[in-house]
Structure 1
Amino acid sequence: MRDLESELFNYTTGRFLANDALRLRERRRVFNIPGLFRIIAKALPCKTEEIVNFRKLGEGGLNRIFLITLDTGFQLVARIPYPILIPKAYALASEVATMHFLRSKGLPIPKVYAYSFTSKNEAETEYILMEYAEGVDLSQIWFDLKEDEIISLMDQLAKFESSMMSISFPAGGSIYYARDLKELCGNEGIPLEEDSECIPRDEQIESRSLEMERFCIGPDVSVPLWYGRREQLDVFRGPYEDAKSVLVTGAKKELAYLDQFGSPRAPYQCFRREYYKYEKQPPSDHANNLRRYLCLAPSLVPDDDSLNTFCIRHPDVTDSNIKISIESSCLHIVGMLDWQHTAVLPLFLHAGMPDIIQNEEDEVSRRMTKPKLPDDFDKLSEEEQEWEMELLRRRLVHYHYNLSTAAYNRIHHKSLVYPLNTFRRRIFNHAIVGWDGETIKLLYALMDMVFDWASFAKVGTPCPVVLTEDEKAAAVRLYEALVNAEVGERMLMDSVGYGEETWVPAAHYEKAKAFGREIKQMTLKACAEDEETTEETYAVIDANWPLDDMDEEELEEYK
């Protein structure tokens, strides 16, 4: 009999200061453990009684990871997705094929032993059984790296990305096994080149019992194309034939969503509602800006055809997804994990520095000046020295990633320095993302493009979109005012100690929850003492506090 309250089925790493019950429910996954053991035994193969240990190894944003140990000492990993993973079947099927495809190219990717993108199996859940990656997470040593270690790791990362981004593809989208894609949507996609289609027998995934698999390009599994009720839409999501197709697909998807499900809604982020006078915003405003974007999108395609070639890149380069071995005091990248939602896109849309590496807000990093400690470092206080050391580390990572990319991944470096390429990616991301009650980011990007049209269009080509000076002035006022909202939210996050979706470590939940309530009461008291605060204003502030639960029916409106 299953213990349905077992920590194996529930999210125990963290809690959420707002809508905690809902967030935990979204991450709860009950499955059949004896059934999973039988699947493991068949995949390896071994006997179920040879499995001597089964424990939760970790929990991520969308998956729970389990470590399985046999009596021989052999270990493997079982990864089971939460109910909130989308598009679940496509994402899981694509990830398995992507890992195998890249592994066949010689990249350090864990081997997959078995998988299922449906819950119709003995384990009663979707799963991936894969090789246990030896080594330590880079996150365990990331903040203690010395400069020579940073140089070595950035060189290795640039070479890894070069090998990956140099692989050519006939179309854009995501990678699948052809027969999986046919099971999912009725067609086998666009086949990849012959020399990559046959799986070596020692790499064969046992649960599929085939002598060969064929890789293909199918629908793009990027989250914005499927999020919430968008998964119900019968819209095009790839394969893409060219860069323009990629640029317009997400905006067309969102227009279809607004047409079918759009309704007035307040901005999702409570801190920003004040600057909209706490009023619900019409979807028509965002739809109008999406149509403007579609008029401009063809001009976002770079003139340099080499930047429009389809390539692949890891979707989330973070220190927790990189496995490191430490041999004779030398660091080596031995594994790259978590290939969920990987997409094949034009090079210019894949270009960019990973979030954990880029330090663009810092002037020294922007100038690409060789980082060093200040001349008066020895005279600083201990706290100031710690700050300068961390600042130096961030600058060194940014600096050496750029140098390593220029030396070992020239195709990526070319797109990094291509004129206005950061803007091209930014406006594309604003157009593809799901509508959350605001359109200001897309509108502001549209203004940048319209008022700097000569940088994107051929000489003499008129801009197809017209924005008035009054419209520009109003957008600038709102955009600049929202900076206050971002500052206020950041201050609250830092004070209480929460992250995305109000996440806090489980051990800190009660303390953070109490402190959040205390700050709310202090804020409301200050409002009550302000003679200009009306009862209505007080009530609105109280009702829109960002650390209070939002009505679950209201939350559904944002999906």
Structure 2
Amino acid sequence: MAHSRSDLFDYTSGRWIINDALRHAERRRVFNVDGLRRLAAQSVDRSPDDIVDFAKLAEGGFNRTFLITMRGGFQMVARIPYPATVPKYYAIASEVATMALLRSSGLPIPDVYGYSPAPDNAAETEYIFMEFIRGTKLSDIWLDLEERDLISVLHQLAQLESKMMSISFPAGGSLYYAQDLEKVAGGPGIPLKDERFCVGPDARLPLWYGRRSQLDVDRGPYESAEAALVRAAQKELAYLKQFGQPLLPFQRIRREAYRYQEQLPLDHIENLNRYLLIASSLAPKDPGLCHFRIRHPDLQQNNIVVSRSSDSNWRVIGLLDWQHASILPLFLLAGIPERLQNYDDPISQRLTRPSLPENLDDLDEAEQSRAKELYRRRLTHYHYVKRTEECNEPHYAALTDPVGMLRRRLFYHAGNPWEGETLALKVALVEAAEKWETLTGGGAPCPVVFDAEEVRETMKLDAVQRGADETLEACRNMIGFGPEGWVTTEHYEEAMTRSKQLKEDALAETTSAEERAEITAHWPLDDMDEEKYM
């Protein structure tokens, strides 16, 4: 166990081409290693002397995990949150309860051996000790799966989602052990039939991000679909009224469309109030779509463990990472998981079975590669929906609701942290006003009205910003970075060189000192001050 403390405490799985020092500082977590080892051993009725290895296993967006190996080959996982992870107590406590309930319902969830949602323990950190599921991350084999294996895995996922979505809840929010919630909320929440569990405050990140965690606002439990629809928007209104200030858009590639002028929080406040005028009308008439259900908050290949069965088929044996899971009306939970969807493609939108180009053999190698990649994305999208239709009728009904995606866009844009733009919410509001009868089933007229010129200017700006996003995506592909500018450590120097070259090329094409100054001040891949956006 000759591991350096820095390896255990620091993020070592990659780097960022933007704000690298800040990202690492957010993820540096010093804890009492010996204390964590003792607690881990106690959680499985073993002696600390039985531990023969303690090594970092993985580092994600919110947590660091360690693999603990004991004599006899027994292995378990210890997981601790980063300092920047919020809401720490609620996130840990709700994840543990969620895992326990779902595991008891027959889902392949790791067994939890012990946990602490507070740092007042020998390890001096919050933690979860859980079962180590031996298998293969789906992400490691995803691109190598043959079509029959791909269909099989998607079918299993649809079955598992059907099982979890069949669990009913008396209210929305997040799930807790009643004893954990009483320690911080002063009350037991809304109990389930199994009174060990209750529904309490919603642990989704947008409700707690930055200074929002300081707000005394109602984050649930939600006793109705209408309450679930309004609470996050009311939270954001409270934040803007207390902390709001003029901001340039956080996404610097989008600043040019505003002529590099700071945007006022009053504009977003106006659109949040517009949203609240219509929110109570957004719940579908079908009561089945308004039932409170739970779903994995980030169902993607890295969080799915598979193994080869005796008949050589891949079998899903583990669903990992339930942090920030929330209980919401089914129509708000619905949708194809982010890493499985291909919504922007017309073929996928029509839900027609995809096929490879007839002239595939005539294409050059690069074109063939692109065609096969697109085909795979379409195939994944198509079979996820088809398997959901077979296994999970309520989710399929929500998926195929013609205005279901609009309902969800309105809800999420109204609840997301304001980052200097109100455009996404406004575009959704314009669409809601245009589709009001379909959205609500008719009756009272839409209380939100936009004049034709305002709609025209909004859609014009949206088109410009879509182009800006495409430019950033082209930069991402050219340099090879992921979310927040993440790259592998091995690729970091090369990525930084490419990033600097892109900036130099852009500056070389300028025709004025003013344009040069704007590019220099707002280059989207340089470090920036993020504090004012918290």
TM-score, length of structure 1 as denominator length: 0.93
Partner of 2:431: 448
Equivalent in the alignment of 1:556: 531
- 1: distance between equivalents of 2:145 and 2:77? 28
Deviation per residue, 1:252-310 (Å, 9 max, x gap): 00000000000001000111111111111110000000000000111111011110000
Between the aligned partners of 2:363 and 2:263, the Cα distance in structure 1 is 50
| Counterpart position of 2:217 | 235
Gaps of 5+ in 1: 198-213
Q: Which moved more, 1:145-154 or 1:454-463?
A: 454-463
**Counterpart residue number, 2:514:** 536
- In the alignment, the residues of structure 1 paired with residue 428 and residue 213 of structure 2 have an alpha-carbon distance, to the nearest angstrom, of 27
- Aligned partner (choices 255, 258, 262) of residue 280 of structure 1: 262
Spell out, residue by residue over 1:492-524, the C-alpha distance to the aligned partner (whole angstroms, 9 max, x if none): 111111121111111111121122112111211
Aligned twin of 2:371: 388
Matched, 1:108 2:108: yes
Structure 2 partner of 1:208: none
For residues 333-379 of structure 1, the C-alpha deviation after alignment (integer angstroms, 9 at most, x for no partner) is: 00100000000000000110111221222222222222222222233
Whether the aligned pair in 2 keeps the contact of 1:427 and 1:442 (CA below 8 Å) is yes
Residue type of the partner of 1:319?
A: Q
Question: Identity of aligned pairs, percent?
Answer: 52
Distance (Å, rounded) in 2 between the aligned partners of 1:215 and 1:524 = 59
Question: Which of the residues 389, 395, 399 maps onto 1:416?
Answer: 399
1:290 equivalent in structure 2: 272
Which runs of structure 2 are paired with 1:402-413 in the superposition (5 Å)? 402-413=385-396
1:209: which partner in 2?
none
Aligned partner of residue 21 in structure 1, secondary structure = helix
How do residues 57-68 of structure 1 correspond to structure 2 at under 5 angstroms? 57-68=57-68
Aligned partner of 1:12: which letter? T
1:336 pairs with 2:348? no
Cα deviation for residue 47 of structure 1 reads 1.1
Match of 2:247 among 265, 278, 290: 265
Shift of 1:4: 7.8
Which among 540, 545, 548 is matched to residue 523 of structure 2? 545
Change (3 A) 1:395 1:458: closer
Q: Quick one: which amino acid aligns to residue 14 of structure 1?
A: G
- Are residue 430 (structure 1) and residue 413 (structure 2) matched? yes
Encode CA deviations 1:175-196: one digit per residue, 9 max, x unaligned.
0000100002111100001xx3
CA pair 380-457 structure 1, distance change in 2 beyond 3 A:
closer
Is the CA contact 1:323–1:335 (under 8 Å) kept in the aligned structure 2?
A: yes
Once structures 1 and 2 are overlaid, which stretch shifts more, 75-84 or 481-490?
481-490
Q: Deviations over 1:126-168 (max 9, x none)?
A: 1100000111000011111111111211111111000000101
Distance in 1, Cα, partners of 2:72 & 2:3: 28
Cross-structure match for 1:38:
38
| Matches of 1:536 and 1:468, distance apart in 2 | 35
Matched with 2:295 is 313
Task: Report the 3-state secondary structure (helix = DSSP H, G, I; strand = E; otherwise coil) of the residue aligned with 1:54.
Answer: strand
2:14 and 2:488 in contact (8 A); partners too: yes
The residue matched to 1:365 in structure 2 has which SS? helix
* Amino acid corresponding to residue 475 of structure 1 in structure 2: T
Question: Which residue in 2 is equivalent to 1:8?
Answer: 8
Q: Paired residue for 1:204?
A: none
Secondary structure class of the residue paired with 1:120: coil
- The one-letter amino acid of 1:455's match is T
Secondary structure, counterpart of 2:367 in structure 1? helix
- Closer/same/farther in 2, CA of residues 219 and 460 from structure 1, 3 Å limit: closer
| 1:174 paired to 2:174 | yes
CA shift, 1:398, in A, is 1.6
Query: Deviations along 1:170-225, whole A, 9 cap, x unmatched?
Result: 100100000100002111100001xx34xxxxxxxxxxxxxxxx100000001111
Say whether the 8 Å CA contact 1:4–1:30 is kept in structure 2. no
Residues 1:139 and 1:458: Cα distance change in structure 2 (over 3 Å): closer
Provide the rounded CA distance (Å) in 1 between the counterparts of 2:23 and 2:402.
42
What does 1:120-269 correspond to in 2, within 5 Å?
A: 120-193=120-193, 196-197=194-195, 214-269=196-251
CA 377–540 in structure 1, closer or farther in 2 if over 3 Å, else same: closer
The answer on 1:379 being equivalent to 2:362 is yes
Greater mean alpha carbon deviation, residues 292-301 or residues 456-465: 456-465
Structure 1 distance, partners of 2:158, 2:525, is: 40
> Gapped runs of 5+ residues in structure 2?
none
* Structure 1 residues 384 and 20: CA distance shift in structure 2, 3 A: same
2:306 to 324, 342, 352: 324
Partner residue, 1:98: 98
2:494 matched to which residue of 1? 511
| C-alpha displacement of 1:460 | 4.5
**SS, match of residue 477 in structure 2:** helix
- Worse-superposed segment, 367-376 or 325-334: 367-376
SS in structure 2 at match of 1:141: helix
Tell me, in whole angstroms, the C-alpha distance in 1 between the residues paired with 2:316 and 2:4: 39
Give 1:540 shift.
2.1
What do you get for the CA RMSD once the two structures are aligned?
A: 1.4
SS in 2 for 1:456: helix
| Number of matched pairs | 532
SS across alignment from 2:316: strand
Q: Name whichever of 134-143 and 483-492 sits farther off.
A: 483-492
Indicate conservation of the 8 Å contact 2:173/2:199, yes or no. Answer: yes
Aligned to 2:346: 363
The answer on whether the counterparts of 1:171 and 1:241 sit within 8 Å (CA) in structure 2 is yes
Measure the CA separation in 2 of the matches of 1:524 and 1:264. Answer: 28
Q: Which amino acid aligns with 1:335?
A: G
Mapped pair 1:70 → 2:70: yes
TM superposition shift of 1:37: 1.2
